[in-house]
């Protein structure tokens, strides 16, 4: 069943879902969808950016600037807010006189995200130096002229992207047609008991205005989407304005030697950069980091998927051209493919100090060292025949032997704690998530609460464990409801167990819907609610028999239900 005719990438159902996820979820989206945010919000990155800012301010002060209205800096697409917090902390502790003048405008286009950051108390130590604003980065509006506008992993999240092919001097766009797989089915868990949605129902759900229900069921929907593309001359594209066509033509002329070429093109991003350049205070600059390409060649992967959301490879040459047309100095890193790149666009002219401070390469072998360490940890935990004490001691020694930068890496600490959780080393895992909290504050994510809960549960501190699991559940973690369910079963709190497993059903991405219903029936039996248990089993059987394909686990759950009902 065809969901849409051939349309631009930004008009596809897949992109619509990604956009809705960003708009409707808060900070928890970074942990639930495993978005790699930490590599450009770490202490070293904050220090580098702060150093650039301080150098520029001091340079301007030498030239007689006094900043009577304060120094205004803007972060667009703030996300977790941790980079802003690190910058303000550095300014307050190391540059007190300049800090007095600073006002940081923290912004995102997600209202829930800004609301959470504002109410969280994360910035309580910076009262008077922080404001919270909802800003659509593609149409930036500044209440004050900024000296610095910065953002990380923002452009790659902007969904208004066209996929362009340049060949033999001609400009084409890839248009995408999206269809549902034949005989598509999902289990609708937005209400209880669940029910089967067939192809027509899924079609209506995808095109309906009810984004909340669609987002709950998206993990089931995404595998059912199929895309085909066709290449259409840009002259025949209907949803493009004359201004955008002209902009694209000028861009192609500037890149004529790099053909054939396939890249992501966003008129929104280019106009955004132009607008920011125009709005900068005299001597102001833009600094940003994103994943993408820096050379004129075709990009093999135009986008990546992180759970519900998408990230589009940034074509830095298209932004370089914007800076050149505005006659601004710019600096761009030359990191290897697959790594993020940084870019600085300067309104001040040839500032030799700025040029020397800007890192031409901003990554080393950190990623390889982190990956290597984690592989060793997995081997020790899951393949070694040693006892738990010996494994724990070996991993701790290995960790403490690491260089400071590697040791403090977010991905390393987070995944180390996760592996220890999976191996049931709950107390060891708790030590590392405590370290994660110390280094990364409120951005620790759901695994912090899950691990702290399991460590408390292992020690018999069940009330404490429940509090941690509930905090994880507040971040839309289906695993939290699974852990809560185990805790309630342990305590024979079967009513709470049933309620929790019903919540688990809505969010689980494991596809264990039938097994979960079997467990609900078991809890109902414990409460001597035989009729309710029978109804649950009948509902399960009804769902199971309608499914066109069944996994081995689903077949086993269906068999259990049929046997139990026959007694």
- The per-residue pLDDT for range 446-466, each reduced to its tens digit, is 889 999 999 999 999 999 999
Would residue 466 count as lying in a domain?
no
Task: Give yes or no: residues 154 and 170 share one domain.
Answer: no
Would residue 518 count as lying in a domain?
no
Evaluate whether 20 touches 214 at the Cβ level (below 8 Å): yes
For CA atoms 410, 416, 422, 427, the dihedral sign is negative
Residue 445: pLDDT band (50, 70, 90) is: confident
Task: Give yes or no: residues 151 and 174 share one domain.
Answer: no
Give yes or no for residue 55 having a pLDDT over 90: yes
Give me the half-sphere count of Cα atoms (radius 13 Å) on the Cβ side of residue 178: 20
Tell me the residue range of the domain where 324 lies: 30-60+69-158+269-357
Question: What DSSP letter does each residue of 483-498 carry, written as one string?
Answer: HHHHHHHHTT-HHHHH
3-state secondary structure of 333: coil
What is the C-alpha to C-alpha distance for residues 57 and 65, in angstroms, rounded to an integer? 9
Task: Give yes or no: residues 223 and 153 share one domain.
Answer: no
Structure tokens at 327: 């006659």
Structure tokens at 74: 């803007």
Task: Give yes or no: residues 76 and 191 share one domain.
Answer: no
Question: What pTM was computed for the model?
Answer: 0.87
3-state secondary structure of 153: coil
The Cα-based distances of 529 to 317, 521, 526 in angstroms read 66, 9, 7
Would residue 422 count as lying in a domain?
no
Q: What CATH number should be reported for the domain holding residue 281?
A: 3.40.50.150
Q: Which of 107-116, 218-227, 238-247 is predicted least confidently?
A: 107-116
Total domains in the chain come to 2
Q: What is the pLDDT of residue 555?
A: 95
Residue 411: pLDDT band (50, 70, 90) is: confident
Q: What is the pLDDT of residue 227?
A: 95
Task: Give yes or no: residues 116 and 192 share one domain.
Answer: no
Structure tokens at 161: 């992207």
Give yes or no for residue 30 having a pLDDT over 80: no
Task: Give yes or no: residues 122 and 38 share one domain.
Answer: yes
Give yes or no for residue 357 having a pLDDT over 80: yes
What is the average pLDDT score of the chain?
Answer: 91
Residue 32: pLDDT band (50, 70, 90) is: confident
**Closest C-alpha among 147, 135, 167 to residue 59:** 147
Q: What is the 3-state secondary structure (H, E, C) of 359-401?
A: CCCCCCCHHHHHHHHHHHHHHHHHCCCCCHHHHHHHHHHHHHC
Would residue 544 count as lying in a domain?
no
Residue 37: pLDDT band (50, 70, 90) is: low
Mean pLDDT of 207-216: 86
What is the C-alpha to C-alpha distance for residues 345 and 52, in angstroms, rounded to an integer? 12
Under 8 Å CB-to-CB from 465, ≥6 apart: which residues?
A: 453, 454, 456, 457, 487
The Cα-based distances of 476 to 37, 425, 456, 463 in angstroms read 19, 24, 21, 20
178 phi and psi, to 5 degrees?
A: -110, 135
What is the C-alpha to C-alpha distance for residues 400 and 377, in angstroms, rounded to an integer? 13
Mean pLDDT of 222-229: 95
Q: What is the pLDDT of residue 297?
A: 56
Mean pLDDT of 474-480: 85
Q: What is the pLDDT of residue 210?
A: 78
Q: Which of 136-145, 236-245, 350-359, 493-502 is predicted least confidently?
A: 350-359
For CA atoms 292, 295, 298, 300, the dihedral sign is negative
Task: Give yes or no: residues 113 and 152 share one domain.
Answer: yes
Q: What is the pLDDT of residue 107?
A: 95
In the DSSP assignment, the letter for residue 336 is: P
Task: Give yes or no: residues 333 and 254 share one domain.
Answer: no
Mean pLDDT of 561-566: 91
Q: What is the pLDDT of residue 361?
A: 78
Give yes or no for residue 39 having a pLDDT over 70: no
* Peptide linkage before 113 cis (omega within 30 of 0): no
Residue 231: pLDDT band (50, 70, 90) is: very high
Give yes or no for residue 362 having a pLDDT over 80: no
Evaluate whether 174 touches 299 at the Cβ level (below 8 Å): no
Would residue 345 count as lying in a domain?
yes
Which of 337, 357, 377 is the last residue before a domain boundary? 357
Task: Give yes or no: residues 83 and 225 share one domain.
Answer: no
Q: What is the pLDDT of residue 152?
A: 92
In the DSSP assignment, the letter for residue 179 is: E
Evaluate whether 448 touches 429 at the Cβ level (below 8 Å): no
Task: Give yes or no: residues 174 and 153 share one domain.
Answer: no
What is the C-alpha to C-alpha distance for residues 92 and 81, in angstroms, rounded to an integer? 17
Count other Cβ atoms within 10 Å, centred on residue 375.
Answer: 10
Which of 304, 332, 357 is the last residue before a domain boundary? 357
Q: Cα angle vertex 124, ends 122, 130, to 5°? A: 90
- Parallel, antiparallel, or unpaired: how do β-strands 314-315 and 329-332 relate? unpaired
Q: What is the pLDDT of residue 258?
A: 55
Mean pLDDT of 46-62: 95
pLDDT in tens, 525-559: 999 999 999 999 999 999 999 999 999 999 999 99
Task: Give yes or no: residues 275 and 351 share one domain.
Answer: yes
Which of 291, 325, 357 is the last residue before a domain boundary? 357
Would residue 447 count as lying in a domain?
no
Structure tokens at 355: 């040029």
Give yes or no for residue 416 having a pLDDT over 80: yes
Q: What is the pLDDT of residue 558?
A: 95
Evaluate whether 471 touches 433 at the Cβ level (below 8 Å): no
What is the C-alpha to C-alpha distance for residues 246 and 252, in angstroms, rounded to an integer? 10
Count other Cβ atoms within 10 Å, centred on residue 555.
Answer: 13
Would residue 531 count as lying in a domain?
no
Q: What is the pLDDT of residue 293?
A: 84
Mean pLDDT of 381-408: 94
Residue 93: pLDDT band (50, 70, 90) is: very high
Q: What is the pLDDT of residue 481?
A: 95
Task: Give yes or no: residues 53 and 154 share one domain.
Answer: yes
Q: Cα angle vertex 408, ends 403, 409, to 5°? A: 105
pLDDT in tens, 248-305: 988 888 766 556 688 999 999 999 999 999 999 999 999 999 988 887 555 567 888 8
pLDDT in tens, 147-204: 999 999 899 888 899 999 988 888 999 999 999 999 899 999 999 999 999 999 999 9
Evaluate whether 513 touches 193 at the Cβ level (below 8 Å): no
Would residue 201 count as lying in a domain?
yes
Give yes or no for residue 374 having a pLDDT over 80: yes
Could you tell me where the DSSP H helices lie in 255-315? 267-279
The pLDDT > 90 percentage for the chain reads 71
453 or 27, which is more confident? 453
């Amino acid at each position: 069943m065809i969901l849409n005719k051939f349309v631009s990438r930004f008009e596809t159902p897949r992109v619509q879902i990604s956009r809705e996820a960003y708009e409707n979820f808060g900070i928890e989206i970074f942990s639930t969808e495993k978005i790699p945010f930490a590599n450009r919000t770490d202490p070293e990155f904050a220090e580098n950016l702060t150093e650039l800012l301080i150098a520029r301010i001091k340079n301007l002060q030498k030239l007689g600037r006094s900043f009577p209205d304060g120094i205004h800096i803007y972060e667009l697409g703030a996300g977790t807010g941790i980079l802003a917090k690190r910058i303000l902390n550095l300014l307050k502790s190391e540059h007190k006189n300049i800090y007095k003048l600073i006002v940081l405008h923290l912004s995102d286009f997600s209202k829930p995200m800004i609301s959470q950051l504002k109410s969280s108390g994360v910035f309580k130590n910076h009262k008077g130096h922080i404001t919270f604003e909802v800003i659509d980065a593609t149409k930036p509006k500044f209440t004050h002229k900024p000296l610095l506008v910065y953002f990380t992993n923002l452009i790659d999240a902007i969904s208004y992207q066209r996929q362009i092919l340049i060949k033999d001097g001609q400009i084409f766009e890839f248009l995408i047609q999206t269809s549902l797989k034949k005989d598509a089915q999902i289990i609708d868990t937005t209400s209880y008991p669940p029910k089967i949605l067939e192809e027509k129902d899924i079609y209506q759900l995808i095109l309906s205005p009810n984004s909340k229900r669609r987002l709950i069921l998206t993990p089931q929907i995404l595998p059912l989407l199929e895309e085909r593309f066709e290449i259409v001359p840009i002259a025949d594209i209907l949803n493009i304005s004359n201004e955008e066509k002209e902009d694209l033509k000028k861009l192609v002329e500037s890149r004529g030697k790099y053909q054939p070429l396939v890249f992501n093109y966003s008129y929104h991003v280019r106009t955004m950069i132009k607008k920011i350049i125009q709005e900068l205070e005299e001597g102001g600059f833009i600094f940003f980091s994103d994943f993408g390409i820096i050379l004129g060649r075709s990009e093999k992967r135009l986008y990546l998927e992180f759970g519900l959301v998408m990230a589009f490879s940034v074509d830095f040459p298209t932004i370089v051209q914007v800076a050149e047309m505005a006659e601004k100095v710019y600096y761009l890193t030359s990191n290897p493919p697959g790594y993020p790149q940084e870019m600085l666009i300067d309104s001040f002219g040839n500032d030799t100090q700025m040029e020397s401070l800007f890192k031409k390469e901003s990554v080393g072998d950190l990623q390889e060292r982190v990956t290597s360490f984690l592989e060793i940890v997995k081997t020790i935990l899951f393949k070694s025949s040693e006892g738990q004490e010996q494994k724990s001691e070996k991993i701790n020694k290995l960790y403490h032997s690491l260089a400071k930068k590697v040791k403090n890496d977010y991905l390393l600490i987070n995944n180390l704690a996760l592996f220890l959780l999976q191996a049931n080393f709950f107390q060891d895992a708790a030590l590392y998530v405590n370290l994660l909290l110390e280094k990364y504050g409120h951005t620790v994510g759901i695994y912090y609460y899950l691990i702290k809960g399991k460590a408390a549960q292992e020690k018999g501190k069940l009330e404490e464990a429940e509090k941690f699991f509930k905090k994880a559940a507040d971040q839309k973690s289906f695993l939290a409801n699974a852990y809560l369910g185990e805790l309630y079963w342990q305590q024979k709190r079967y009513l709470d167990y049933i309620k929790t497993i019903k919540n688990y059903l809505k969010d689980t991405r494991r596809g264990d819907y039938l097994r979960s219903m079997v467990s609900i029936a078991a809890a109902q039996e414990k409460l001597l609610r035989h009729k309710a248990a029978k109804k649950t089993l009948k509902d399960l059987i009804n769902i199971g028999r309608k499914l066109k394909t069944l996994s081995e686990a689903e077949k086993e759950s269906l068999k259990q239900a049929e046997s139990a009902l026959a007694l």
